Amino acid sequence: MKATGTETIKAESAGLRGPIAAEISADAPKGGLSEASYTLLKFHGTYEQFDRDTATERKQAGEDKEWSFMVRVRAPGGRLTAAQWLALDALAETYADGSLRLTSRQGVQFHGILREKLKPSIAAVDSALLTTLAACGDVVRNVVTTPAPRRDAIHIRLQAEASRLSSALLPKSGAHHEIFLDEEPVSTPDVEPLYGPTYLPRKFKIGLAHPADNTPDVLANDLGFIMQTDAAGAITGWLVTIGGGMGMTHNKPATYPRLADAVALIGPDEVLEVAEAVVRLSRDHGDRTDRKHARLKYVMAERGVEWARERLSADLGRPLLPAPPLPRFEIPDHLGWHEQGDGRWWLGLHIPAGRIVDRGEVRLRTALREAGKTLGVNPVATSQQDVLLSDVQAEDRAALEALLRSHNVPFPDAFTPVARNMLACVALPTCGQSLAEGERVRQPILDQVEAELGRLGLLGERISLRLTGCPNGCARPYQGDIGVVGKSPGMYVVFVGGDFAGTRLNFPIADKVPLDRIGATLAPLLNLWAAQRDPGEGFGDFSTRIGADACRNALLPHRQAAE
Ligand code: SRM
Ligand code: SF4
């Protein structure tokens, strides 16, 4: 079977170099990069994009597209220092479009970076003791974990393991430093001890969680570690989950979202060793002939848990214990004020779609910059695209509140639960894969759902609403109580039936729903939920209990009337 072109590009890249240096140099001709550079730049944390809003008009006028770069910064567990935040804030102003974008994996993205600014942008990230290396590409990406900056043994350990995995699993090639940081070329060819010459067949994601906090949606990851603790809170081991992933393609049933399987139970100190073995499993068994079938989730779906545990046991040279059943997960509310356990506090702020920008009266970016400068707060990016401002001294709480209020930054109580828990992917105008709007229609979609909930007196209910501009699933829409997934311009597929804790996939109930009919489409099912729910039953739980057919039937008369 023939390997894909990406495999050849990786193999011939001389350790992720390829033609990148020549093609991003200031005197290189402007316009799209070669396929080799485009592909390899992902491993360095950047995508070449063009402004999709202006592309057609410019083409008609005989002009080239407006090319720019998206740059993604890794932040294991989303942890940043005030100094790092200030450096990223300056980067947004000097080199990018003036905004920072908190991602659904606790990273930070910049958009609109022009080619001549790419190198200095990546160098600026490095100067802040952060990196863009392996933020994208066929390698282990940013490692996510519970964001709560609690200073107890559980949270300290989760964060320590996330940081350790993140550093240990970085590619070893010197190419990044050579190309972007002007370091001397290394004389010997790069050898990737873990990844090998063609790296992984596809992206690889790791998450760590505790049953009491599954904010990172650990089961959506290729590899998950769920901390096991005894009654006294001591760490007894980790439950290893393998084979999660969201991406699918509309009308291609061979592609599908999948939640990870519980595969093994390991000791407290085996996380890195087991992670390396699972990376090798993906490296050696992922399908390199078809990138739509290359993720570890397809290996797991086709080979099964027993096979995976046997392979891993053989690799590690000792038998791995079977996993106990998955625990019940909780999703605590991290927004608002919380005591950290060390006398200091964090303030969780909801950031709609993770976009940090000064817009009109709401000067969010300035407020966060000032909070870093004057109060030294250390931000934590969450997998909900929100921010937790941590390490606030008790005596500074009032000052932080006053600072935020003076910049008109809304506090969490200004948002309904459905708004606070909404995720929306970037989509247009930068994302080359989007089929419909995402972030930019977050508010109108939210307004519609809020109106329906308000009508039923259910605005206080905690519902996860997740929106993406295409089926790749960057906001994990298939785990939401409600998922809204772009199909074509202005049209969406609506899913229901996930659970709030991220342990169940939802199912589609309506196809090709126009943007302005999403609330109306959901209305009959929301009515049914309001009338027939068990006490305290969540919307996704209710939808699953009555079943996909009943959900679709509830919608049918209304959809027919609308057509
Ligand atoms: Fe994603 C591709 C944005 C989290 C599944 N994702 C993309 C690209 C790079 C588009 C592209 O390939 O050209 C998007 C860049 C848009 C832009 O203009 O910025 C993009 N993904 C994002 C972010 C920024 C969404 C957000 O709004 O927050 C998230 C960045 C996370 C980070 O910091 O690393 C982001 N992407 C995810 C997640 C969620 C997660 O990991 O928890 C998923 C689903 C989980 C998974 O991996 O299956 C996800 N992104 C994808 C896929 C589908 C992969 C698949 O197996 O089919 C693609 C397309 C691809 O890889 O070919 C993709
Ligand atoms: Fe782009 Fe699709 Fe990801 Fe949204 S889900 S950012 S449209 S790739």
Any ligand 2 atom below 6 A from CB of 426: yes
Give φ, ψ of 458 to 5 degrees. Answer: -115, 20
Residue 551 annotated as catalytic? no
Residue 152 located in a structural domain: no
Are 383 and 423 within 8 A, CB to CB? Answer: no
CATH number at residue 399: 3.90.480.10
Give the number of whichever ligand sits closest to the CA of residue 72: 1
The reported pLDDT for the residue numbered 3 is: 80
Q: How confident is the model at residue 25 (pLDDT cuts 50, 70, 90)?
A: confident
Do 393 and 461 lie in one domain? The reply is: no
Considering the domain boundaries, does residue 254 fall inside one? no
Q: Which ligand is nearest to the CA of 204?
A: 1
Same structural domain for residues 366 and 400? yes
Active site residue 17: no
Write the pLDDT tens digit of every residue in 152-210: 999 999 999 999 999 999 999 999 999 999 887 765 556 799 999 999 999 999 999 99
Q: What are phi and psi of 525, to 5 degrees?
A: -75, -35
Number of domains into which the chain is organized: 3
Question: Which residues, 6 or more positions from 225, have their beta carbon under 8 angstroms from its beta carbon?
Answer: 161, 206, 207, 208, 209, 218, 238, 239, 240, 241, 271, 275
Assigned domain for 270 exists: no
User: Of these residues, 74, 203, 258, 487, which one is catalytic?
Assistant: 203
* Last residue of one domain, picked from the residues 362, 392, 415: 415
pLDDT of residue 2: 80
Q: What is the mean pLDDT of residues 52-58?
A: 94
Domain boundary among 415, 449, 471: 415
Percent of the chain with pLDDT over 90: 94
Q: Is residue 549 part of a domain?
A: yes
Q: Please give the span between the terminal C-alpha atoms of the chain, in angstroms, as a whole number.
A: 47
Quick check: CB of 52 below 6 Å from ligand 2? no
The alpha carbon of 427 and the centre of ligand 1 are apart by a number of angstroms equal to 10
- Check which CATH number belongs to the domain holding 470 and give it: 3.30.413.10
Q: Which atom of ligand 1 is nearest to the CA of 425?
A: 27
Closest ligand to the CA of 437: 2
The answer to whether 426 touches 439, Cβ cutoff 8 Å, is: yes
433 pocket-lining for ligand 1 (C-beta < 6 Å):
yes
**Statement to judge: residues 403 and 427 lie in one domain:** no
Where a domain ends, among 73, 103, 136?
A: 136
Assess whether 425 carries a catalytic annotation: yes
pLDDT of residue 559: 67
The active-site residue, picked from 42, 119, 369, 470, is 470
In this structure, are 407 and 430 located in the same domain? no
Tens-place pLDDT, residues 357-382: 999 999 999 999 999 999 999 999 99
> What pLDDT is stored for residue 190 in this prediction?
67
Q: Annotated catalytic residue: which of 10, 425, 466, 476? A: 425
Residue 336 region by backbone torsions, left for phi larger than 0, else alpha for psi between -120 and 50, else beta = left
User: What pLDDT is stored for residue 28 in this prediction?
Assistant: 76
Contact 265, 237 (CB under 8 A): yes
Tell me if residue 136 is catalytic.
no
For a pLDDT cut of 70, what percent of the chain falls above it? 98
Whether residue 466 is found in the same domain as residue 410: no
Is position 288 annotated as part of the catalytic site?
no
Let me know: does 15 contact 189? Beta carbons within 8 Å: yes
- 508 and 551 assigned to the same domain: yes
Task: Measure the CA angle with vertex 544, ends 543 and 550; round to 5°.
Answer: 60
- Residues 457, 558: one domain? yes
Q: What is the 3-state secondary structure (H, E, C) of 394-431?
A: HHHHHHHHHHHHHCCCCCHHHCCHHHHCCEECCCCCCC
For residue 362, the CA-to-ligand 2 centroid distance in Å is 26
Catalytic annotation present for 470: yes
What is the atom index within ligand 1 of the atom nearest the CA of 144?
42
The pLDDT tens digits for 314-330 are 999 999 999 999 999 99
- For residue 220 and ligand 1, the question of a CB distance below 6 A is answered with yes
Is 525 a member of any domain?
Answer: yes
Atom of ligand 1 nearest to the CA of 248: 57
Whether the CB of 476 sits within 6 Å of ligand 1: yes
* pTM, full prediction: 0.97
The verdict on residue 53 lying in a domain is: yes
Residue 499 structural domain: 418-562
Residue 533 and residue 425 share a domain:
yes
The CATH number of whichever domain residue 28 belongs to comes to: 3.30.70.2500
8 and 102 inside one domain: yes
Q: Which one of 72, 369, 442, 476 is the catalytic residue?
A: 72
pLDDT in tens, 499-529: 999 999 999 999 999 999 999 999 999 999 9
Residue 528 lies in a domain: yes
**Active site annotation includes 476:** no
List Cα–Cα distances, 82 to 1, 334, 383, 398, in angstroms.
50, 19, 19, 19
Average pLDDT over residues 333-362: 98
| Active-site hit among 136, 283, 288, 431 | 431
Q: 46 and 89 share a domain?
A: yes
- Which residue's CA is the nearest one to ligand 2's atom 2? 470
Indicate whether 213 pLDDT > 70. Answer: yes
Whole-number pLDDT of residue 329:
97
Together in a domain, 462 and 556: yes
Residue 382 and residue 501 share a domain: no
- Any ligand 2 atom below 6 A from CB of 300: no
Q: Is the pLDDT of residue 562 over 70?
A: no
Average pLDDT, the chain: 96
* For residue 83, pLDDT beyond 70: yes
User: In the prediction, which pLDDT does 557 show?
Assistant: 73
Q: Is the pLDDT of residue 27 over 80?
A: no
Atom of ligand 1 nearest to the CA of 107: 33
258 forms bridges with which residues in the sheet? 245
pLDDT tens digits, one per residue of 439-496: 999 999 999 999 999 999 999 999 999 999 999 999 999 999 999 999 999 999 999 9
Active-site residue identified among 105, 141, 297, 442: 141
Q: Classify residue 128: in a domain, yes or no.
A: yes
pLDDT in tens, 401-434: 999 999 999 999 999 999 999 999 999 999 999 9
Q: What is the pLDDT of residue 183?
A: 81
Closest ligand to C-alpha of residue 467 is 2
